[in-house]
Chains A and B, each alone.
Chain A
Amino acid sequence: QQQVKQSPQSLIVQKGGISIINCAYENTAFDYFPWYQQFPGKGPALLIAIRPDVSEKKEGRFTISFNKSAKQFSLHIMDSQPGDSATYFCAASIFGNEKLTFGTGTRLTIIP
């Protein structure tokens, strides 16, 4: 049973466009929702994270939107650049238990 479902599996966006990746979770005890970015040959690196007390968090071109009632959260990348091409993972955890439950990943390709 997959507790965090992520879509799409792959995404191609033109340079300058908006990239949107969606995740849905089942466990209502989750209270920490990070997004990780992974480049080939590297490990995942934290990109941005949100807690359920806010509905949106923005850091530069990256925004997390969070809908607690729908148990969904999404990553928006504005003005997407070729350097954003990577695999993105959403994840969730419970405060005090830092074990991360990941989605299946989205391979994002930004084309010129």
Chain B
Amino acid sequence: EAGVTQFPSHSVIEKGQTVTLRCDPISGHDNLYWYRRVMGKEIKFLLHFVKESKQDESGMPNNRFLAERTGGTYSTLKVQPAELEDSGVYFCASLPRGGDNEQFFGPGTRLTVL
């Protein structure tokens, strides 16, 4: 069974540019989460999808971040325009419906904003 995949693995952009991160959860997992780790700090929750619906987006930093999950399969997280403080590692995780709380994480996308 394929795990959670994320693309790209690294992205280096300039301040003011736009970047789109993609996450493909484990097939059949209804729950999809986005997290972010800024260097040296904790991994912070951004938002939670159940299928295509946003269940909780309380962790989204501001309206420069837009997450979508069309069709309830893969998800994208767009940052527009990117700021220096957006740099960090963005993780995606998935969990099956009725799962026992074990979230399966992808390898992350390292975003550097210059």
Q: Which residues of A contact B (CB under 8 A)?
A: 2, 4, 6, 32, 34, 36, 41-46, 49, 89, 91, 93, 97-105
Contacts and interface: CB of A to CB of B under 8 A. Distances in A.
A28 to B, nearest CB: 18
Given A32-B101, A44-B105, A97 B56 contact: yes
B42 to A, nearest CB: 5
Most A CB atoms within 10 A — which of B43, B59, B93? B43
Interface of A is mostly: strand
Given A2-B42, A6-B42, A104-B42, 9 more contacts: A32-B101, A42-B107, A43-B107, A45-B104, A45-B105, A46-B103, A89-B43, A102-B42, A105-B42
A34 B42 contact: no
Given A42-B107, A46-B102, A103 B45 contact: no
A98 B42 contact: no
Given A98-B48, A98-B95, A99-B56, A43 B42 contact: no
Most A CB atoms within 10 A — which of B44, B93, B105, B106? B105
B61 interface: no
A101 B45 contact: yes
Nearest to A32: B101
Contacts of B104: 45
A44 B43 contact: yes
A4 B4 CA distance: 26
A34 B40 CA distance: 20
A93 B43 CA distance: 13
A99 B56 CA distance: 9
A105 B108 CA distance: 16
Most B CB atoms within 10 A — which of A2, A89, A100? A100
A1 B19 CA distance: 29
A112 B35 CA distance: 34
Given A41-B107, A44-B105, A99 B91 contact: no
